[in-house]
Amino acid sequence: MAALALTACSPQTSTPEAAVTATAIPAPESSGSEMEFTPSDTAQAVADEVIGMSETQAIETIAGISSEPLTSRIVRRDEESFMITMDYRLDRINLQIDDGIVTSTTIG
């Protein structure tokens, strides 16, 4: 009798038709092999060009490119490294700054 009472109080399970299946999840539009990992010639040229500039000049130069929208991010200033996201963006130039001057850049 106690087992019957517990069964009556338990939540109802959904029917198999209402269950989420793997086929309910949409497939990605592109596979990893189709993703672009090579920066544009413009992004690479700008990344190379800003080395040796002041931090302000470099940021203004990157933002001022009209042929392609580029962004900048400071990843290290002197001895302080900043927390950054690990997403790879071909339109972002990462700057390392020493004594107010850009000493190194990467794209991503």
- pLDDT tens by residue, 26-59: 555 655 566 778 999 999 999 999 999 999 999 9
The letter for the amino acid at 96 is Q
pLDDT at position 94 is: 98
Query: Does this model's pTM top 0.75?
Result: no
Q: Which residue has the tokens 């338990």?
A: 10
Distance CA 92, CA 108 (A): 6
Give the SS3 label for residue 92: strand
Distance CA 46, CA 90 (A): 12
- pLDDT tens digits along 52-80: 999 999 999 999 998 999 999 999 999 99
Distance CA 60, CA 93 (A): 12
CATH code for the part of the protein at 38-108: 3.30.10.10
Domain-wise residue ranges, the chain:
38-108
